[in-house]
Structure 1
Amino acid sequence: MVATVPASVVLKNRPWRTGIAGTIWNGEVGIAGGTRAAWDWAPLRSLANLGFAADWQATGTDTDLGGRALLSAGGWTVDQVSGTARFGLIAAAAQALPFQCDMVMRIDWDRLSTGGSAAASGLIVTEPGQCWAKATPGTSTTVPALRITAEQVGGQSVIRVAPQAQQRRTLIEAKLAGDGRLAVTMTPDGAADLPFLGIPAGVTIQKQL
């Protein structure tokens, strides 16, 4: 019975999902826009980390992205992520984001983890695109190609967003502490170039991951 538990027991239908198939061990979910995300349970990695580990792959229009995931009592980890994806894939996974974008991203992300060992490292480069606040979908901003980097500096992860053509011009800087505290600061350049975020220059938003 455990081996045949359907994925729908854990993943309930949501407006952005177009269907769920398979089991919790080997299943797939459809995402609005035509993307399909599938996963395969990794038993040895699950036992070694005392959690549920899986290899996953997302495919669709402008999307061919894969990686690994681990869910445990201490939090979750996504690592070894590489490939391309449309921003809509991130928007589907993070429904709380107050904005949406139409752009394609190249992702080479080493690690993102939460809980008592929170950390981030990797690189995302976007193509130019359009972004808008969900509250005002009729007003969009043209966004240049962006470069998003994350690296360990001391005991924290430092995340920077900058234009790909002007990598020293920081738009957003974020710091992720090992205990999961995330502080995101908007620079004057970021407030001017990314108005759809609705964050004034110099404001720092704090969140617990």
Structure 2
Amino acid sequence: MNNKALKYNFVSFLILTILFFIIATLAAHLASPTRYTIDKTAPIYSNTAYRIDSSKALTLEQFLAEPDKLKQRPFKDVEWDLAAQDYWLKLDLENRQAKPVELAIHFDNPMVDYLSVYHVDDKGQLIDTTELGDKVSGLSLFQYSTPHSMLTMQGYEQTSLIIKIDTVGISKTPINIYGEKEFQDLLRSQSGIWGIFIGVLIMAALYNLVLF
């Protein structure tokens, strides 16, 4: 084997090793995207319920006035479908510690058309509304790519979020709750995953260049 062939084999082996390392790192990031959700890091307790509105005419006032029509089940049991219908999700939160906590509610579906987040107090009075979705104008690129809502809970506070999902296509929207620091860690992880993905493409291109 001449020196030139040996050199090419060494470079190919080096690129392949780096490629496998990048893929292994990517797999490690993908394996634990919800490791630091708030239920694992702080005494924040939640209850969930939902209602599916096939008429697409339900209002927030009607939703709050008809609690008996809610299904008191985890969001993972929602019967997501491609049919034309709205999904109303109710998330009750309770801070069981004396100090306030900053929460980030992450809606893990950037393809939702319209996503409304209604923040109500323990008496059902509307506090504020957040409008998200890829068909909502005026949002930042960050809000489009990572739909989320920030919430500050005082010590021992109880509050509720009513989430309305109105979309055509993929409606399934996992909802994860993070503390402020954990949410920043999630964003860094997502950025790292995109960087690793681009790195894999570059290394694969270099590997093919060396071979051919």
Q: Under TM normalisation by the shorter chain, which class is it? A: under 0.3
Higher RCO (C-alpha 8 Å, min separation 6): 2
Q: TM-score, normalised by structure 2?
A: 0.25
Report the TM-score, using the length of structure 1 for normalisation.
0.26
- Which of these two proteins has the greater Rg computed from alpha carbons? 2
More helix by share: 2
Q: Give the structure with the larger strand fraction.
A: 1
